[in-house]
Amino acid sequence: MSSYNVAPLEKLVEQFEKMPGIGYKTAQRLAYYVLNLSKTEADTFAKSIIDAHEKIHYCSVCCNLTDQDLCPVCKSEKRDRTTICVVETPRDAMAMENTNEYKGLYHVLHGAISPLNNIGPDDLTIKELIARFGNDNEISEIIMATNPTVEGDATAMYLSRLLKPMGVKITRLAYGIPVGGDLEYADQITLARALEGRNEL
Amino acid sequence: MSSYNVAPLEKLVEQFEKMPGIGYKTAQRLAYYVLNLSKTEADTFAKSIIDAHEKIHYCSVCCNLTDQDLCPVCKSEKRDRTTICVVETPRDAMAMENTNEYKGLYHVLHGAISPLNNIGPDDLTIKELIARFGNDNEISEIIMATNPTVEGDATAMYLSRLLKPMGVKITRLAYGIPVGGDLEYADQITLARALEGRNEL
């Protein structure tokens, strides 16, 4: 930009600017924050990036992120092994987990089918999901918790067709108005779905 | 939070969460972004943090950030050496530079006097500013471009009292309504200052 640029600083700004939701001004602010760290703090920060990158990989069963072979949920003996909740991302699994309502297992697809973005079924962890239906599996229900988007819906449909022959119950999260929301601000489609899925009181 | 946390990931989220303007959700998003980087990209990112931290220091004259002994502005022969623009932060200097109107030198204070935050004159680079009034200095004007806040004003006042005996002209950036702004939304004080500083057409 100006004659006033400092190469190592600009490189750092560039790194931050690549991140989702971070524009040039924010990237600058973050870079200045890093400059103001002590040497130890900066080293810790850099190390935590490398560490996270090196130590974290997919759980060998559910494909969620973990630094061990099995993630805590797959390893836990308290979880209900008859139910698998299929989500798009590890963050979705964490959101489900934070409800404190779900006690079953997960399966993280790491994306959704999206022909526009060149993501087909083979790019997701669908193989791994099918592998869970082994000889002595106890699975009785698969909850499709993919996002309420065109891609999420398509993925849920695709998977339900694929898995129904395995003889399991396939369910989908309910669509409806969000709790604490305002009918006035709900969009048409959400409201139509809420009406469609109305329950008896 | 939940039983689903992965230690190296949580550490990384923590690091991001400490940054200005970054909350837990954004920190999480950034951490997942880092996990999705390739190994080379993650290494580059970590290295750029360490690099910026190690290579960048204050310019020995104006105290702006640089990776050389003198910053490009202090080194340049095209700049007007009779004028010094005093700013609080390197980002303020960059903002001035981006106007493409200012051709003089800078001095970066790295803060403003703020008794509430325990920042006194000795915590700023005021010594270094005074040192620029050496035997063969050509300085004729000091432009106070500290922020239009209580702290910035106080710092400008303090410095003007300190520097006036040196026989230089001391000026302050004009207060007024921002270009493209709307009178209706301008606050009382700004409007009063704009009135006070009105110019003949």
* β-bridge partners, A119: A114
Instruction: With a cut of 80, say whether residue B155 has pLDDT above it.
Output: yes
φ/ψ (deg, to 5) at B118:
65, 30
Helices and strands: H and E segment counts in chain B: 8, 6
Q: Which residues, other chains included, contact B90 with Cβ-Cβ below 8 Å and sequence gap of 6+?
A: A32, B64, B65, B108
B42 closest CB neighbour out of A19, A42, A50: A50
A7-55 against A65-196: fold identical: no
Give A27-31 contacts, CB < 8 A, sequence gap 24+: A28/B91, A29/B20, A29/B21, A29/B91, A30/B19, A30/B20, A30/B22, A31/B52
Query: What CA–CA distance (Å, rounded) separates A20 from B34?
Result: 10
For residue B153, how many other CB atoms are within 10 A of its CB? 17
Q: What is the dihedral of CA A77, A80, A81, A86, to 10 degrees?
A: -120
Domains of chain A by residue range: 7-55, 65-196
Instruction: With a cut of 80, say whether residue B181 has pLDDT above it.
Output: no
Instruction: With a cut of 70, say whether residue A1 has pLDDT above it.
Output: no
More confident residue, B188 or A146: A146
Instruction: With a cut of 60, say whether residue B1 has pLDDT above it.
Output: no
More confident residue, B83 or B6: B83
Q: How many CB pairs under 8 A join A and B?
A: 154
Query: What CA–CA distance (Å, rounded) separates A178 from A184?
Result: 12
Interface predicted TM-score of the whole assembly (ipTM), two decimals? 0.74
Radius of gyration from C-alpha coordinates of chain B: 22
| CATH class of the domain comprising B65-196 | alpha beta
Confidence of residue B121 (pLDDT cuts 50, 70, 90): very high
Contact B52 A34 (CB under 8 A): yes
Nearest CA in chain A to B29: A20
Instruction: With a cut of 70, say whether residue B144 has pLDDT above it.
Output: yes
Query: What CA–CA distance (Å, rounded) separates B65 from B53?
Result: 11
pLDDT value for B111: 93
Using DSSP's 3-state secondary structure scheme, residue B23 falls into: coil
| B12 touching chain A per CB within 8 A | yes
**pLDDT (mean) for A75-80:** 92
| B73 touching chain A per CB within 8 A | yes
pLDDT value for A4: 54
| A49 touching chain B per CB within 8 A | yes
pLDDT value for A2: 46
Q: How far apart are the CA of A200 and the nearest CA of chain B, in angstroms?
A: 33
Q: How far apart are the CA of A173 and the nearest CA of chain B, in angstroms?
A: 21
**Among the CATH numbers 2.60.40.650, 1.10.8.420, 3.10.129.10, 1.10.1200.10, which is that of A7-55?**
1.10.8.420
A8 closest CB neighbour out of B9, B64, B67: B67
